[in-house]
Amino acid sequence: MAKVRGAIVVDIEKCKGCGVCVVACPASVIELSPNVNSKGYHYAEPVNHDACTGCTNCAVVCPDGVISVYRIKN
Amino acid sequence: MADNISIEEIIKPENLVYAKTGVMTDNITSYCPGCGHGTTHRIIAEIIEEMGIQSETIGVAPVGCSVLMYNFMDIDIQQAAHGRAPAVATAIKRLLPEKFVFTYQGDGDLAAIGTAETIHACNRGENILIVFINNGIYGMTGGQMAPTTLEGMKSSTSPYGRDVAMMGNPLKMTDIVATLPGTYYVTRQSVHKPGNVRKSKKAIRKALEYQKLNKGTCFIEIVSNCPSGWKMEPVESNEWMEKNMFPFYPLGDLKVPAE
Amino acid sequence: MEKELRLMKGNEALAEAAIRAGADGYFGYPITPQSEVMEYLMQEKPHERTGMVVLQAESEVAAINMVYGGAGCGKMVMTSSSSPGVSLKQEGITYIAGAELPCLIVNVVRGGPGLGTIQPAQSDYFQATKGGGHGDYNLIVLAPSSVQEMADFVELAFDLAFKYRNPAMILSDGAIGQMMEKVWLKPQKERNLKLPEWGTTGKTPGRERNIITSLDLNPAKQEQFNHKLQAKYREMEKNEVRYEEFQCDDAEYLFVAYGTSARVCQKAIQLARAEGIKVGLLRPITLFPFPKKIIHERAGQVKGILCVEMSAGQMVEDVRLAVNGLIPVEHWGRMGGIVPTPEEAVENLKSKIIGG
């Protein structure tokens, strides 16, 4: 059976670390990084890569439009 | 084997399913982390892109946090005096009737100082879209009480909570404009969760499609958050909004065209 | 539509001239003594004649912001009102000046302060010529003294407004707005459908987005912008001063007066000259830019100047600045909606200037 796999790319420098994407992700892919960007924000980053289905929820809800989503179907 | 696919193999241009629309500029917005303004800007821009109307759309920015909207959306924009956006948009639309015209206004702008302009534009049935961001507070000036501030809600000018006996009741402008014959489509949405963002986006699209048909004023309230003004973490502010704002400002359509 | 001679009220002539000048839009709110402007426009159905949009707004505030919106698209738009209404428009006017938008604002002045009276006055001179709202800005201000000029100045005001991307005002008064005179109306001009490049008409792929705003939070840039505005006003002072002189060549004394007061002074000159008093009249047509240079020159030739104004003395301050102490400059006028008589003007010339 075909499995959908996804991946996200966060524009780290433009992320304000609000965390809205973290709670929006149904697969708990995203966390706020312990590191900060040059503005001092703990930016969002995908940690649980394999669980990402590319559903776009994180990007859809991102107030700063910093998330790009990729998806493939095998 | 699916499980063996590397991240690098997924992140390829041909697999891109979502990216920031080109109708948003590359400027970083001036909004606080987690603020619904950015999301609302983005979905308006996405609809403009999807409908292919970038060259036919004119926005009107308010005074308030979104005064600098023209830095973030790559369309022609006029910045109006406080509360006057519906009057400004009225003239733009009447003089350029073939264009798509929308205003973007906060609650102080639309429901306090601009009450007359809002009601009369809606009552005349101007063929414009009014996007109304209601976060129950004056964000830009530092969290003062707005006409939409809930009863008991604290702000810098209602530090002990809004006392309705002294300060009056929160105003439901969307309910008011829904009663006016000039409005065609009136809805209240939010952008705090993916499902809500998608609904809001649909509403914006519908409104612009109705505008093309000269149906009258479309009015979309977005109940939103103000983490800084409410003095909350962004995610916490969205939860607070669901618990406190939505009961008073329930989401859903207030006026839908008869099919 | 050809050149035409008609008998009209000043307000009606202005409205007809606006249609014939090819104006794109008028946005107004009723107020005495200028309501005939919108009444005339509505009756004429300019939308059918030329495609001009006419809309009765919910307030003067809304009307001036409609002008902002239309002007921001590069359209030729206008509003008209009278003193209390023009006070309400000041917010919009300063935004228009700050966004460098061309438009026409007509003030058919009535007596004030407050609700005042509905009779003619000239007590809005300061408001009109010193900006009116907040911030450092100026309007181009034209002062008609006849029904003919009510008509002629519409096109002139629009031309200047677009030339400088600056709001222009026709500062009339209740007498000129209400009086009937014969007026030559110009032939109909085509509306200009080719809009300027800077307006918000939709961002086409070939250009950057157009932004209409008066905001710049960077003080260095805001100062730079203010310098730009000031340079524009100096340019107007260099190029756009307009005035008219009556019997100034042999004059020993001078009236300086505009609008209705200037008409009174023309008669006063006849009366005074019958008594052997050689007096002339200098009538500023542009109140901004003010005809400083010619007033200064005339001050070198005459013995004294009487400013006749239907106010407590407003333009007299600009005349004094122009004269710069060379000769006595006095003010005389009536207030509260009273038009001065020529006899009173002569009497006051004698008592304040000749006898003084």
> Which tokens hold the place of C130?
């010193």
User: Is B92 within 8 Å of C69 when comparing Cβ atoms?
Assistant: yes
How high is the mean pLDDT in each 10-residue block of chain B (259 residues)?
A: 77 97 97 98 98 98 97 98 98 98 98 98 98 96 96 97 97 98 98 98 98 98 97 98 98 92
- Confidence (pLDDT) at B5: 86
Residue range B205-236, pLDDT digits in tens: 999 999 999 999 999 999 999 999 999 999 99
Q: How far is CA C24 from the centre of its chain?
A: 20
Residue of B nearest to A50 (CA): B3
3-state DSSP helix/strand/coil % of chain B, to nearest 5: 45, 20, 35
3-state secondary structure of C169: strand
Shortest distance between the Cα of B79 and any Cα of chain A, in A, equals: 21
Between CA B109 and CA B258 the distance in angstroms is: 31
- Whether chains C and A touch (3+ CB pairs under 8 A) is answered by no
CATH number at A8 reads 3.30.70.20
How many residues belong to chain B?
259
- The end-to-end CA distance of chain C, in Å, is 55
Helices and strands (H, E) in chain B, number of each type:
11, 10
Between CA C121 and CA C123 the distance in angstroms is: 6
Q: Residue A47 CB: number of other CB atoms within 10 A? A: 12
Exposed/middle/buried for C13, CB within 10 Å: 0-12, 13-18, 19+? buried
Residue range C63-85, pLDDT digits in tens: 999 999 999 999 999 999 999 99
User: Is A65 within 8 Å of B197 when comparing Cβ atoms?
Assistant: no
A62 interface with B at CB cutoff 8 Å: yes
- Confidence (pLDDT) at B218: 98
- Confidence (pLDDT) at C356: 56
Between CA C223 and CA C228 the distance in angstroms is: 9
> Which tokens hold the place of C210?
């157009």
pLDDT at C27 over 60: yes
pLDDT at C309 over 90: yes
Task: Say what the alpha-carbon torsion angle B173, B174, B176, B181 is, to the nearest 10 degrees.
Answer: 140
pLDDT-derived band at A53, boundaries 50, 70, 90? very high
What's the DSSP call for residue C355? -
What's the DSSP call for residue A51? G
Measured between CB atoms, which of B15, B33, B197 is closest to A60?
B197
> Which tokens hold the place of C343?
């006899």
From chain C, pick out residues whose CB is under 8 angstroms from the CB of B58: 73, 200-202
Exposed/middle/buried for B129, CB within 10 Å: 0-12, 13-18, 19+? buried
Separation in Å, CA C261 to CA A40, C206, C241, C294: 68, 53, 19, 19
- The answer to whether B38 touches B29, Cβ cutoff 8 Å, is yes
- Confidence (pLDDT) at B205: 98
Find the domain containing A23 and state its range.
4-73
Element (H, E) at C160: helix C147-164
Exposed/middle/buried for C273, CB within 10 Å: 0-12, 13-18, 19+? middle
How are beta strands C25-28 and C77-81 bridged, if at all? Answer: parallel
Interface test with A, best of B3, B4, B18, B37 (most A CBs within 10 A): B18
From chain A, pick out residues whose CB is under 8 angstroms from the CB of B233: 19
Q: Which chains touch C (3 or more CB pairs under 8 A)?
A: B
Residues 221-250 of B with CB under 8 A from A: 227, 233-235, 238
- Confidence (pLDDT) at C1: 75
From chain A, pick out residues whose CB is under 8 angstroms from the CB of B15: 70-72
Measured between CB atoms, which of A56, A66, A74 is closest to B17?
A56
Q: How far is CA C352 from the centre of its chain?
A: 29
Count of CB pairs separated by less than 8 Å, A with B: 105
Asked if the bond preceding C144 is cis, omega within 30° of 0, the reply is no
pLDDT-derived band at C322, boundaries 50, 70, 90? very high
Separation in Å, CA C341 to CA C10, C233, C247, C255, C348: 21, 35, 20, 14, 11
Mean predicted confidence (pLDDT) in C90-101: 98
From chain A, pick out residues whose CB is under 8 angstroms from the CB of B227: 18
User: Is B80 within 8 Å of C69 when comparing Cβ atoms?
Assistant: yes
Residue spans per domain, chain B: 30-255
Residue range A7-40, pLDDT digits in tens: 999 999 999 999 999 999 999 999 999 999 999 9
Separation in Å, CA B117 to CA B103, B131, C60: 12, 14, 11
Domains of chain C, CATH where assigned: 4-203+227-239 (3.40.50.970), 243-354 (3.40.50.920)
Shortest distance between the Cα of B161 and any Cα of chain C, in A, equals: 32
Query: Scanning the structure block, which residue is given the tokens 């009779």?
Result: C119
pLDDT at A1 over 60: no
B12 interface with A at CB cutoff 8 Å: yes
3-state secondary structure of C110: strand
Between CA B106 and CA B111 the distance in angstroms is: 8
From chain C, pick out residues whose CB is under 8 angstroms from the CB of B120: 57-58, 62
Residue range C10-24, pLDDT digits in tens: 999 999 999 999 999
From chain A, pick out residues whose CB is under 8 angstroms from the CB of B35: 18, 63
- Confidence (pLDDT) at B21: 97
B24 interface with A at CB cutoff 8 Å: yes
> Which tokens hold the place of A12?
């780290």
A69 interface with B at CB cutoff 8 Å: yes
- Phi then psi for residue C331, to 5 deg, are -115, 145
Return the half-sphere exposure (C-beta side, CA atoms, 13 A cut-off) of residue C300: 5
Residue range C159-204, pLDDT digits in tens: 999 999 999 999 999 999 999 999 999 999 999 999 999 999 999 9
User: Is B79 within 8 Å of C211 when comparing Cβ atoms?
Assistant: yes
Residue range C111-148, pLDDT digits in tens: 999 999 999 999 999 999 999 999 999 999 999 999 99
Residue range C231-259, pLDDT digits in tens: 999 999 999 999 999 999 999 999 999 99
B37 interface with A at CB cutoff 8 Å: yes
Element (H, E) at C225: helix C219-239
Interface test with B, best of C55, C65, C94 (most B CBs within 10 A): C65
Count of CB pairs separated by less than 8 Å, B with C: 128
- Confidence (pLDDT) at B3: 59
Between CA C28 and CA C55 the distance in angstroms is: 7
User: Is C65 within 8 Å of B58 when comparing Cβ atoms?
Assistant: no
- Whether chains B and C touch (3+ CB pairs under 8 A) is answered by yes
Between CA A54 and CA A66 the distance in angstroms is: 15
Residues 323-352 of C with CB under 8 A from B: none
Measured between CB atoms, which of B3, B198, B234 is closest to A20?
B234
Shortest distance between the Cα of B49 and any Cα of chain C, in A, equals: 13
Interface test with C, best of B49, B88, B93 (most C CBs within 10 A): B88
Q: How far is CA B126 from the centre of its chain?
A: 18
Look at the domain B30-255 and name its fold. Rossmann fold (3.40.50)
The tally of domains found in chain A comes to 1
DSSP C266-333: HHHHHHHHHTT--EEEEEESEEES--HHHHHHHHTTSSEEEEEESSSSSHHHHHHHHHTTSS-EEEEE
C149 interface with B at CB cutoff 8 Å: no
How many residues belong to chain A?
74
Residue range C265-294, pLDDT digits in tens: 999 999 999 999 999 999 999 999 999 999
User: Is B34 within 8 Å of A69 when comparing Cβ atoms?
Assistant: no
